[in-house]
Chain A
Amino acid sequence: MLDQILCIDDDPITLMLCKKVIIKSSFSNEIITAQNGEEALSYFNTIRYVKNKPNQQPQLIFLDLNMPVMGGWEFLDHFNSPEFSEFNTIKVVVLSSTIDPEDLEKAKQYPMVIDFLSKPITHSMLEYLKNKIE
């Protein structure tokens, strides 16, 4: 079981669904959510200066692509930059309902993206990811 994961999605129902399935599958202890890329980045900026809890950072990110304010691609561009170098070992799973084949190709360009999965999140999907991460 993971300690902490981050779900980035603008749709509250999707986030709710994520939480429920993750809890049911005992995938992670703690689930943090962000409504878009910018929110997620500011979360990383806050935990950067919290020194007393050293290992408390997400071990996996579920990332949606189409979001207002800052979408998934823009988030990945920032996250992949030197500015967030201390975090870019965190694995990212793109979880989207996109069907554009170009998105799939594009996702491969980011080293931290380990998979590109289609919504909705399911129990079997989490089992698959568990095996993959281990």
Chain B
Amino acid sequence: MKNKTNQVIIIYILISMFVAIVSHKLLQEYISDSNNQFYNFTKDILFIFFTGIIFKLILSKNDTRNIAIFEKLKNTNDEIKESNEKYDIVAKATSDTIWDWKIQEDSFSWNKGIESVFGYSDNEVGDSSKWWFDKIHPEDSIKMSIKLYSFIEQKTENWQDQYRFKCANDTYKYVLDRGFLLKDENGKAIRMIGAIQDITKQKEEEQRLKLLETVITQSKDSIIITETDSIDGKIPNIIYVNPAFSIMSGYESDDIIGKSPDIFNSPNSDSNELEKLLDAIKNKEECLIETISLTKDKEEYWVRFSMIPIYNSENELSHWISIQRDITDEKNQEKEKEQLIRELTQNNKDLKQFSYITSHNLRAPLSNLTGLLNLLEDIPIENQELKEILDGFNKSTHLLNDTINDLVKVIIIKDNPSIQKEAVLIKEIFENVFSQLNFQIELYKPIIKLNFEKVSILNINKAYIESILLNLLTNAIKYKSENRKLKITITTHEIDDTVVLIFKDNGIGIDLERNRDKVFGLYQRFHNYPDSKGLGLYLVKSQVETMGGTIEIESEVNKGTTFTLTFKNKQQ
């Protein structure tokens, strides 16, 4: 506009000067000095009139142009105002965070979302793009900036990106950022406006679903999803199989989708189990069966097969989930185990039978011998030698009889794994045992200390505990020291739910360093006593163990022996 004014003035000066010079020359040529005053005046009038017209021309032209410009400006202004208003309304309405980046000046501004969504207060928010970039998760920032700059350089049409954006509290939110470019008349990017959407929830849900999906895709169990309705009494058609199913059955997804799992049935499938399954499907109930299935190559395998009905929020059946596991190995092992148990049971039975028969067949002739010897007792024998021979015969027979009777006892104990237990008073047991040993107790008068104050009742088999204590007492008397009076201490106490019975004597003891392994062995003797058979402690141990207890021994030669018996005292 200034240039135009100068132009107008210069033109005006030039024209005025030209008019002035021309009028001066004309006046010099034609007009004399007398008329000078009049002509000068005329010339000025003309000049003013003339320049007036020229001004009018120029100004009126300028005016029209200015009005046009003004109109245009006004329109533009209105548009901008309106657009700004719209922008404000949209920015307020949307939950998105809007940013505005003047690229050349690198001036960056944010709307309220930066506070409401990400928690940054006004003074925390930077005003350059650097602040923005700094808040992007380091793992996402390179990928994101590559995409962004290729967009700014207009190599790509659209820009939208997902990245993690740091909040004021240092956590990250997943965001979807979409932006567009404003360009100048040369097509250069001058401004970029973007909208950031918080997609953390969607992303978390997506990740949760992905995680859950791995259960199906990575599971070693086969998973099938089927339609709801069965057609022609078949299992409903398959709509999904997981990779584990393909591995198990040999059927790929494409082979099998849209077909019924009935095609897995083998002629050897358990028809009762299949019936059960179809009934469950009819009644829309959960079901678990075990049957034989066929692979694609018609190989049989055992499968544990469940069908679970899945209902939607309207409580309508939406599909079935079936989880299947190949249990062929399990079944085989089970079969082997059963076979083994059968064999062992049979063997055990045979052995038991064998031991009974053996002892019976030994006992039968032996009882005859005993009976015959009993008859001999009444017949007087004159011959001294024959008498001696028969005497030896008699002793040997009775010894053999005792041994066999002992063994029979052992067999009966060993054969009786679950014996009757009852609550018995310990005091009562000892009274019985002492009365049986009355003779020996009177003879040796041992000091016997009993302390059953802590535990007075045992849950135990009465006959066994009597036999055990009888054996231990007999041993204590039999193997007492000649140098000191026999002293026996018997106490009970409780540890947790077990009862401990301690039986202690001051007898000759057993050399445990040499004999620890043999103490409770069958026919193990540690002292050369005439009536010692090496059976007592073996029987004691067998009886204790039959009742679910344990027995331990501590002994020192010439000091004494301590037996510790432990029983579970639970009522069964």
Contacts and interface: CB of A to CB of B under 8 A. Distances in A.
B146 interface: no
A121 B370 CA distance: 9
Interface in B122-140: none
Interface stretch (B21-29, B101-109, B331-339, B371-379): B371-379
A100 B367 contact: no
Contacts of A14: 364, 367-368, 371
Given A119-B371, A122-B371, A101 B364 contact: no
A45 interface: no
A97 interface: yes
A65 to B, nearest CB: 9
B359 interface: yes
B560 to A, nearest CB: 37
Interface string A74-114: 00000000000000000000001111110000000000000
Interface stretch (A16-24, A27-35, A36-44, A52-60): A16-24
Contacts of B411: 99
Nearest to A66: B360
B371 A97 contact: no
A118 B367 contact: yes
A13 interface: yes
Contacts of B371: 14, 17, 21, 119-122
B199 interface: no
Nearest to B359: A99
B568 interface: no
Given A17-B371, A21-B371, A97 B356 contact: no
Contacts of A11: 364, 368
Nearest to B401: A120
Contact of A17 (B363, B372, B408, B412): B372
Interface in B409-462: 411-412, 415-416
Contacts of B374: 21, 120, 122-123
Interface string B346-377: 00000000001001100111111011101100
Nearest to A98: B360
A99 B363 CA distance: 9
A100 B412 CA distance: 8
Contacts of A119: 363-364, 367-368, 371
A64 B155 CA distance: 112
Contacts of B368: 11, 13-14, 17, 119-120
A17 B371 CA distance: 7
Contacts of A66: 360, 364
B557 to A, nearest CB: 38
B360 A97 contact: yes
A125 B356 CA distance: 24
B463 to A, nearest CB: 13
Interface residues of B, number: 20
A114 B375 CA distance: 26
Interface centre among A17, A118, A121, A122 (most CB of B within 10 A): A17
Interface string B63-78: 0000000000000000
A98 B411 CA distance: 12
Nearest to A96: B360
Contacts of B375: 17, 20-21, 24
B538 to A, nearest CB: 18
Interface string B204-231: 0000000000000000000000000000
B414 to A, nearest CB: 12
A97 B378 contact: no
Contacts of A123: 374
Contact of B360 (A20, A21, A99, A101): A99
A5 to B, nearest CB: 17
Interface centre among A11, A13, A96, A121 (most CB of B within 10 A): A13
A51 B464 CA distance: 55
A66 B361 CA distance: 10
Contacts of A97: 360, 363-364, 366-367
A122 B375 CA distance: 9
Interface in B368-396: 368, 370-372, 374-375, 378
Contacts of A120: 367-368, 370-371, 374
A33 to B, nearest CB: 15
Interface centre among B364, B408, B411, B415 (most CB of A within 10 A): B364
Contacts of B364: 11, 14, 66, 97, 119
Given A119-B363, A119-B364, A119-B367, A99 B412 contact: yes
A17 B367 CA distance: 10
Given A17-B375, A24-B378, A98 B356 contact: yes
Contacts of B415: 101
A97 B360 CA distance: 6
Contacts of A96: 360
Nearest to A95: B367
Nearest to A9: B364
B356 A99 contact: yes
Contacts of B365: 13
B507 to A, nearest CB: 33
A123 B415 CA distance: 32
25 contacts: A11-B364, A13-B365, A13-B368, A13-B372, A14-B364, A14-B368, A17-B371, A17-B372, A21-B375, A97-B363, A97-B366, A98-B360, A99-B359, A99-B360, A99-B408, A100-B356, A100-B360, A118-B367, A119-B363, A119-B371, A120-B371, A120-B374, A121-B371, A122-B371, A123-B374
Interface of B: 356, 359-360, 363-368, 370-372, 374-375, 378, 408, 411-412, 415-416
Interface of A: 11, 13-14, 17, 20-21, 24, 66, 96-101, 118-123
The 9 A-B pairs at the shortest CB distance, nearest first, are namely A120-B371, A119-B367, A97-B363, A120-B367, A17-B371, A97-B364, A99-B408, A100-B356, A13-B368
Given A98-B356, A120-B370, 5 more contacts: A13-B365, A17-B371, A97-B366, A101-B412, A122-B371
